[in-house]
C-alpha cells in the first residue's frame, strides 16, 4: 500500500508525528487501557481525530486491534509499561502467527528518571525487558529515545507493519512525548526488493504448467486477504476458469457464493468430495496459504509437491524450484497477463449442490440443542452484511459449515487457536465496520476468559449477537483426551443475567430447538439491541469436523 507523504513536520512533537503517521495508514481507532507511563500520549490521542476505545483488559485490546486490522488493513493498541505490555503478549503472538498488522504502542519510564538508579514501578529486571520480549513476535520495533531519529524510526516501523502484515512495537518514554525534534524530516518511503527476472521466470514456468494441466485448481489462503489481493485472485481465476478452494484460516477470502468456489480444503477432516477434487488435481496453485497442521487437516492432506505451486509473501516454489524475491501480487498479476487458455475442468454437480447448505430441519419443542443444527439455522439468516466471528474449538469447527456471502466476513484464530479471541474481536470488528451485524459463536470456556469485553461493546453502542455454546467446560479437550477428567469442567454461570449487569441488551436462555429458533428470530428482528443467547447443548454434542479431528489428534495427545 502506497502511503501519502505527510505534511510538513515543522513544530510537530514526536507524539503528534506518530499520530499523524498512524492516520496516514487508515487507523481511526485505537484500543487499550491507560496507565501513568502513557497518560501524556493518551491526552495527545484524545486531542486528535483518532478515537480511543477503552477495554476491560489489555489482552482483549490486543484481540480487538487484531480483528480491526484484519478488516481495515492495520490496527493499533496503546498500553502502559510492562503490566500493560506484557499482558498483551498472547494477543500479539497470535497476530504475528496469523499475519495481522497490529501496531503496539506503549509508554515507558522517562529517560531522565532512569538515570536516578531507583527501582521504578512496573519494571521487570531492567528497562529493556519489555522491548526484548516483544522482539520475539514483532517484525520490527523501536524505542523513540532519540529526537534526531524518532521520525525516521516511526516511518521504518510502520512501513514494516504494512509491508509484512505482522505486528510491530513502538515504545515511547514519557518524557519524549512532547519533544519537538530540531531537524527537518521528509518521508521518502521504503524500497521493496522484487527481482523482475526471477518473477518473470516463475510466471513463465507456472503458465507452462497451467497450459499442460487438465485438472488445475487454486487453494487460496489468508494472505490474499491480508495483502488485499482478492480482486487480483478473482481476475486471474475467472480469466483462466480455475476452481477455487480455501483453507480454514482463509475461509471467506473469496465469497463462498462465487461460481468458481468449491469449498474448504481440510484434508481428511473436511468434505470428502472437496478433498478428492483438490487432491486429484494435476496442478495445485497454493496462493497465500499457511501449510499448518489445522489447515492440512492434521497432516491428512495429500498434496504431491511436484504438482504444487506454492506462493506466499515470503516464498515461491514451483515443484522443487525455488524463486527468491518475488512479490505475491506481482506473481498473481503476472499470471493473468500470460493469457493462459481457460481451463475446461468442470466442478462436479455433487460439489455444486454441496455448496448450497442444506436448510436446517424445522425446530421441535423438545429437540435437544446440537451445535451443527444451530449452525445450519444460523446459516439461513446470515447475509452480506453479517460478520461471523468464531472462537476456537467446536465454535470454529462447526462454523466452517457456514456459507459466507461476502469476502473477509469470517474471523477466527484458526492457526494460532487462542481461546478467548471472539468477544473482544467482535469489538474490533464492530468498530471497524459499524454498518455490519456481528455474530459471535463462542464456547462457555472461552467466554469465561474474555467475555466481559461484551461490556465494552455495549458501552460504545454496538449490538452484537453472542451465542454461548454451553457444554459446561472444555468440550474439545474432552474429545481429544477421553476420560471423565475434572479439569475440563468449569463453574456454571447464569450467562443471561450478565446483560442486567452491563445495563443494556436482551438475554435468551435456550435448551431446545424451538427456543433457539425464537431467540435467533428475536435477535434478527431487533438489531438495535445486543443479544446474548445462552444455548445449553445436548450432552456430549460435537460437530462432525471435531469428531474427525479428535480421532486424528488423540493419537498424539
Asked whether the predicted pLDDT for residue 453 surpasses 90, the reply is yes
pLDDT at 1: 47
Residue ranges in 294-393 assigned as alpha helix (H)? 328-336, 349-355, 371-379
Average per-residue pLDDT for the chain: 88
Asked whether the predicted pLDDT for residue 364 surpasses 70, the reply is yes
For the whole model, what pTM was predicted?
Answer: 0.91
CA distance 508 to 473: 20
Asked whether the predicted pLDDT for residue 297 surpasses 60, the reply is no
Mean pLDDT of 90-115: 91
Rounded alpha-carbon distances, angstroms, from residue 42 to 51, 154, 445, 484: 10, 17, 33, 49
Instruction: Write 323-327 long-range contacts (CB < 8 A, 24+).
Output: 323/195, 323/198, 323/199, 323/201, 323/202, 324/195, 324/198, 325/193, 325/194, 325/195, 325/198, 326/194, 326/195, 326/198, 326/199, 326/202, 327/192, 327/194, 327/199
Q: What is the pLDDT of residues 18-35, one digit of tens each?
A: 999 999 999 999 999 999
- Bridge partners of residue 36, in order along the sequence: none
Q: Is 524 exposed, middle or buried (0-12, 13-18, 19+ CB in 10 A)?
A: middle
Mean pLDDT of 78-97: 92
Q: Which residues contact 35 (CB under 8 A, 6 or more apart)?
A: 79, 80, 81, 83, 84, 107, 122
Express as a percent the part of the chain with pLDDT over 70. 88
* Residue 454 backbone phi and psi in degrees, to 5: -60, -30
Mean pLDDT of 174-178: 93
Range from 97-106, 408-417, 489-498 that averages highest in pLDDT: 97-106
- Bridge partners of residue 411, in order along the sequence: 389
Mean pLDDT of 526-550: 85
The DSSP line for 72-110 is HS-EEEEE-TTTTTGGGHHHHHHHHHTT--EEEEEEE--
Mean pLDDT of 372-384: 91
Taking residue 306's Cβ as centre, other Cβ atoms within 10 Å add up to 8
Q: What is the pLDDT of residues 212-260, one digit of tens each?
A: 999 999 999 999 999 999 999 999 999 999 999 999 889 999 999 899 9
Mean pLDDT of 109-133: 75
Asked whether the predicted pLDDT for residue 340 surpasses 80, the reply is yes
Amino acid at each position: 500500500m502506497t502511503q501519502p507523504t505527510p505534511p510538513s513536520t515543522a513544530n510537530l512533537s514526536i507524539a503528534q508525528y506518530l499520530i499523524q503517521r498512524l492516520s496516514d495508514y487508515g487507523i481511526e481507532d485505537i484500543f487499550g487501557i491507560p496507565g501513568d507511563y502513557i497518560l501524556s500520549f493518551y491526552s495527545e490521542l484524545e486531542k486528535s481525530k483518532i478515537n480511543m476505545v477503552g477495554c476491560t483488559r489489555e489482552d482483549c485490546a490486543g484481540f480487538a486491534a487484531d480483528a480491526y486490522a484484519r478488516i481495515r488493513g492495520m490496527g493499533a493498541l496503546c498500553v502502559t509499561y510492562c503490566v500493560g505490555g506484557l499482558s498483551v503478549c498472547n494477543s500479539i503472538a497470535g497476530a504475528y502467527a496469523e499475519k495481522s498488522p497490529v501496531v503496539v504502542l506503549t509508554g515507558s519510564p522517562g529517560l531522565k528518571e532512569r538515570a536516578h538508579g531507583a527501582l521504578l514501578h512496573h519494571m521487570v529486571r531492567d528497562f529493556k525487558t519489555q522491548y526484548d520480549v516483544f522482539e520475539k513476535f514483532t517484525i520490527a520495533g523501536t524505542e523513540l529515545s532519540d529526537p534526531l531519529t524518532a521520525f525516521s524510526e516511526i516511518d521504518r516501523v510502520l512501513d514494516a507493519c504494512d509491508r509484512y502484515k505482522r505486528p510491530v512495537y513502538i515504545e515511547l518514554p514519557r518524557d519524549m512525548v512532547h519533544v519537538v525534534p530540531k531537524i527537518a524530516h521528509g518521508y521518502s518511503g521504503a524500497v521493496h526488493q522484487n527481482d523482475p527476472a526471477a518473477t518473470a521466470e516463475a510466471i513463465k514456468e507456472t503458465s507452462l504448467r497451467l497450459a499442460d494441466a487438465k485438472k488445475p485448481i487454486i487453494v487460496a489462503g489468508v494472505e490474499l486477504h491480508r495483502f488485499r489481493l482478492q480482486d487480483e485472485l478473482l481476475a486471474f481465476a475467472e480469466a483462466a476458469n480455475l476452481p477455487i478452494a480455501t483453507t480454514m484460516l482463509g475461509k471467506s477470502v473469496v465469497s463462498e457464493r462465487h461460481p468458481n468456489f468449491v469449498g474448504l480444503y481440510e484434508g481428511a477432516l473436511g468434505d470428502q468430495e472437496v478433498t478428492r477434487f483438490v487432491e486429484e488435481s494435476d496442478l495445485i496453485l497454493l496462493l497465500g496459504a499457511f501449510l499448518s497442521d489445522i489447515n492440512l487437516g492434521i497432516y491428512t492432506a495429500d498434496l504431491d509437491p511436484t504438482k504444487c505451486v506454492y506462493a506466499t509473501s515470503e516464498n515461491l516454489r514451483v515443484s522443487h524450484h525455488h524463486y527468491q524475491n518475488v512479490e505475491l501480487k506481482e506473481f498473481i498479476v503476472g499470471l493473468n497477463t500470460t493469457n493462459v487458455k481457460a481451463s475446461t475442468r468442470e466442478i462436479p454437480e455433487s460439489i455444486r449442490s454441496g455448496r448450497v447448505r442444506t436448510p436446517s430441519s424445522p425446530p421441535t419443542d423438545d429437540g435437544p440443542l446440537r451445535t451443527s443444527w444451530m449452525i445450519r439455522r444460523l446459516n439461513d439468516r446470515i447475509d452480506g452484511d453479517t460478520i461471523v466471528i468464531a472462537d476456537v474449538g467446536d465454535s470454529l469447527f462447526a462454523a466452517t459449515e457456514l456459507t459466507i456471502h461476502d469476502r473477509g466476513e469470517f474471523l477466527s484464530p484458526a492457526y494460532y487457536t487462542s481461546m478467548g479471541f471472539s468477544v473482544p474481536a467482535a469489538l474490533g470488528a464492530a468498530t471497524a465496520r459499524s454498518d455490519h451485524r456481528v455474530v459471535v459463536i463462542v464456547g462457555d470456556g472461552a467466554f469465561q476468559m474474555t467475555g466481559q469485553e461484551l461490556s465494552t461493546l455495549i458501552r460504545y453502542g454496538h449490538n452484537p449477537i453472542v451465542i454461548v455454546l454451553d457444554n459446561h467446560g472444555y468440550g474439545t479437550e474432552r474429545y481429544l483426551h477421553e476420560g471423565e477428567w475434572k479439569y475440563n469442567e468449569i463453574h456454571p454461570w447464569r450467562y443471561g443475567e450478565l446483560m442486567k449487569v452491563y445495563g443494556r441488551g436482551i438475554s435468551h436462555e435456550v435448551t431446545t430447538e424451538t427456543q433457539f429458533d425464537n431467540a435467533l428470530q428475536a435477535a434478527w428482528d431487533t438489531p438495535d439491541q445486543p443479544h446474548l443467547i445462552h444455548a445449553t447443548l445436548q450432552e456430549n454434542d460435537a460437530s462432525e469436523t471435531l469428531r474427525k479431528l479428535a480421532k486424528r489428534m488423540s493419537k498424539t495427545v
